[in-house]
Amino acid sequence: MYILIVGCGAFGSEMADTLSQDGHDVVVIDRNELSFRLLPAGFNGMTQRGNGIDEEILREAGIERADALLALTSSDSVNLMAAQIAKSVFGVERVMARLYDHSRIEIAQAKGIEALCLTDIGVVQARYALRLGGVLRLLSLGAGEIELISLNAPKSLSGRRIEEFELKGKFHIAALLRQGRAILARASDALQEGDTLYCLVRVDLKDAIPEIFGIAQEEF
Amino acid sequence: MRSIVVGGGKVGYYLARELKRAGHEVIVIERDEAHARRVAEKLDIEVILGDSAHPHTLADARADEADVLAAVTGLDEENLLVCQIAKLKFGIKKVIARVNNPENEKIFKLLGLDEAVSSTSIIASLIEREIGFSRLKSLLRLEEVGMEMIEVELEPDSSLAGKTIETLSKHLPKASIVAMVLRGGQAILPRGDTKLEPSDTLLLLAKPEAKGKLEDAFGKKAR
């Protein structure tokens, strides 16, 4: 794919290098020539100096034949504007904007832009890392039909077997984290205190997790 | 009318002042504390301190009750985003964005913001009119139908004097028409046989792309 990246900060440069190593043709755009120093010496893509919301600069970077544009500067509004120009003016198929502010996702989606809200992702990761308990949504699959969640097995469930909680086509315990090691869950495995469970759940049932385990919300 | 002015810098300050003088209810949104205080104290206008491109800030400014929003900050991308949030989330019908970089005027329109005001282009056209390197004065832009009303003043010794509208029309681009002739304070609706006189003022309707050919037809102003 021919991919344009707007913004060569820590995120943009890393993304550019990764995509380039994946074999894509990458052009990274930044207003500041010095930003390109963040790219590793072996970077195989191209750089274009200039403003990513400037039609001419985008044209010079080859937007007319681009398959995707990722707007990854540190400004939500610059990212949204660059993404909209890519989508509405040049008809780029895949357009993504990095956002800090969760409340702007709606605007992005209304304009046909995929929002990459780092704040949301960060919040999920941090909550997960803190292991505060409760049900954590880790990943949304497809258009959100299925979610990967994690939860700490409550003490009251110790000794119960994985298969007791299986709901065909609705809820599935996929893996366990036990004493720092991940294992794929087998139907006959018994839960232990301190286990973290990774479950796939149909999105309409995600609020029914306590019921599935037959316990009260507070026990998580 | 309830209006929200986004940006309390120079443009925002004077715009808010004029709106208030005209009897509008005005709320200003500004992110810089010093600017915000200046507007609040000098103009006695309610100022919301905050990030304008954030829906919460717009909600604080009671955007759901506003009739008009003008985004006049110095950042085009902010002005675009604020206007889009105002339209999409708060249903404000009339939103106007200031365009700092004239290149963005076209982009804003392509992105669905019809009311984009570029101070740079306005100043340029005013200066152009004053120093008169063009004989054409753009009086009015009819954006929706893609037409412009243009005024042309004939010189006292104009070579067009004595010629008929029909003859003149042969030299004018297709996408233009002489709509009116002003002579000595009188308006004349032109027919093919109307004869032009020195110092006549012509009002033309033309598509913007015809302007170059109109310039050629009427010549540059001699100074």
In a domain, B130, yes or no: no
B134 backbone dihedrals φ, ψ, rounded to 5° = -120, 150
**Number of Cβ pairs < 8 A linking chain A and chain B:** 56
> Which of the listed residues B123, B154, B178 is the one where a domain comes to its end?
B123
On chain B, the residues whose CB falls within 8 A of the CB of A89 are 107, 110-111
Q: At what angle do helices B76-90 and A76-84 cross, to 10 degrees?
A: 80
CATH number of the domain within which B212 lies: 3.30.70.1450
- Looking at residue B137, what is its pLDDT? 79
Tokens 């209304």 label which residue? Answer: A110
Minimum-distance CB partner of B111 among A77, A88, A101: A88
The three-point CA angle A155-A158-A164 to 5° equals 120
Kindly tell me if the per-residue pLDDT of B123 is higher than 80.
Answer: no
Q: Are residues B26 and B54 in the same domain?
A: yes
DSSP A31-91: S-GGGGGGS-TT--SEEEES-TT-HHHHHHTTGGG-SEEEE-SS-HHHHHHHHHIIIIIT-
Burial grade of A33 (CB within 10 A; 0-12, 13-18, 19 or more): exposed
Encode pLDDT of A34-49 as tens digits.
999 999 999 999 999 9
Nearest residue in A to B84, CA atom = A107
Count the domains in chain B.
2
Q: Are residues B66 and B172 in the same domain?
A: no
Any idea where the domains of chain A sit in the sequence? Answer: 2-117, 131-219
Q: Are residues B112 and B7 in the same domain?
A: yes
Interface test with chain B among A58, A59, A84, by most B beta carbons within 10 Å: A84
Asked whether the beta carbons of residue A111 and residue B84 sit closer than 8 angstroms, the reply is yes
- Looking at residue A74, what is its pLDDT? 94
In the structure, what pLDDT confidence band is assigned to residue A130 with cuts at 50, 70 and 90? Answer: confident
Minimum-distance CB partner of B77 among A81, A101, A111: A81
Q: Are residues B45 and B114 in the same domain?
A: yes
- CA distances in angstroms from B49 to B37, B98, B165, listed in the order given: 9, 20, 59
In the structure, what pLDDT confidence band is assigned to residue B216 with cuts at 50, 70 and 90? Answer: confident
Please determine, for the modelled complex, whether the ipTM score is greater than 0.95: no
* Of A183 and A218, more confident: A183
Q: Are residues B109 and B147 in the same domain?
A: no
Element (H, E) at A14: helix A10-21
Which residues are within 8 A (CB) of B13 and not within 5 positions of it... i.e. 6 or more apart? Answer: B35, B38, B39, B42, B43
Burial grade of B185 (CB within 10 A; 0-12, 13-18, 19 or more): exposed
CATH number of the domain within which B116 lies: 3.40.50.720
Encode pLDDT of B88-115 as tens digits.
999 998 999 999 998 898 899 889 887 8
- Report domain A131-219's class: alpha beta
- Looking at residue B72, what is its pLDDT? 94
Encode pLDDT of A6-31 as tens digits.
999 999 999 999 999 999 999 999 99
- Looking at residue A120, what is its pLDDT? 86
- CA distances in angstroms from A216 to A131, A132, A154, A205, B23, listed in the order given: 19, 17, 10, 16, 59
Encode pLDDT of A167-214 as tens digits.
999 999 999 999 989 999 999 999 998 899 999 999 998 888 888 888
In a domain, B223, yes or no: no
Minimum-distance CB partner of A107 among B56, B85, B103: B85
Distance CA B169, CA B47 (A): 55
Closest CA to B75 of A77, A31, A57: A77
On chain A, the residues whose CB falls within 8 A of the CB of B106 are 55
Chain B (93-122) residues lying within 8 Å, Cβ to Cβ, of chain A:
103-104, 106-107, 110-112
Asked whether the beta carbons of residue B81 and residue A55 sit closer than 8 angstroms, the reply is no
- Looking at residue A161, what is its pLDDT? 93
- Looking at residue B83, what is its pLDDT? 95
In the structure, what pLDDT confidence band is assigned to residue A220 with cuts at 50, 70 and 90? Answer: low
β-strands B147-153, B136-142 pairing = antiparallel
CA distance A107 to chain B (A): 7
CB A45 within 8 A of CB A28: yes
Locate B129 and state its tokens.
Answer: 């009119």
User: Percent of chain B scored above 90 by pLDDT?
Assistant: 57
In the structure, what pLDDT confidence band is assigned to residue B118 with cuts at 50, 70 and 90? Answer: confident
Interface test with chain B among A81, A90, A104, A113, by most B beta carbons within 10 Å: A81
Domain residues for the domain of B41 are 2-123
In the structure, what pLDDT confidence band is assigned to residue A132 with cuts at 50, 70 and 90? Answer: low
Distance CA B97, CA B105 (A): 10
Q: Are residues B101 and B140 in the same domain?
A: no
Indicate whether this model's pTM tops 0.80: no
Nearest residue in B to A87, CA atom = B111
Q: Are residues B8 and B117 in the same domain?
A: yes
Rg (chain B; Cα; Å)? 22
Asked whether the beta carbons of residue B53 and residue A89 sit closer than 8 angstroms, the reply is no
Encode pLDDT of B8-32 as tens digits.
999 999 999 999 998 999 999 999 9
On chain A, the residues whose CB falls within 8 A of the CB of B75 are 77
Locate B13 and state its tokens.
Answer: 């300050």
- Looking at residue A176, what is its pLDDT? 94
- Looking at residue B130, what is its pLDDT? 63
Domain A2-117 fold: Rossmann fold (3.40.50)
Q: Are residues B110 and B167 in the same domain?
A: no
In a domain, B157, yes or no: yes
Q: Are residues B65 and B156 in the same domain?
A: no
Kindly tell me if the per-residue pLDDT of A68 is higher than 90.
Answer: yes
Which residues are within 8 A (CB) of B21 and not within 5 positions of it... i.e. 6 or more apart? Answer: none
Encode pLDDT of A74-93 as tens digits.
999 999 999 999 999 999 99
Average pLDDT of chain A is 91
User: Per DSSP, what are the bridge partners of residue B29?
Assistant: B6, B48
CB A79 within 8 A of CB A114: no
Asked whether the beta carbons of residue A80 and residue B104 sit closer than 8 angstroms, the reply is no
> Which of the listed residues B123, B152, B179 is the one where a domain comes to its end?
B123
Which whole number is the average pLDDT over B159-173? 90
In a domain, B128, yes or no: no
- Looking at residue B223, what is its pLDDT? 42
Closest CA to B49 of B32, B27, B70, B73: B32
Closest CA to B83 of B97, B93, B72: B97
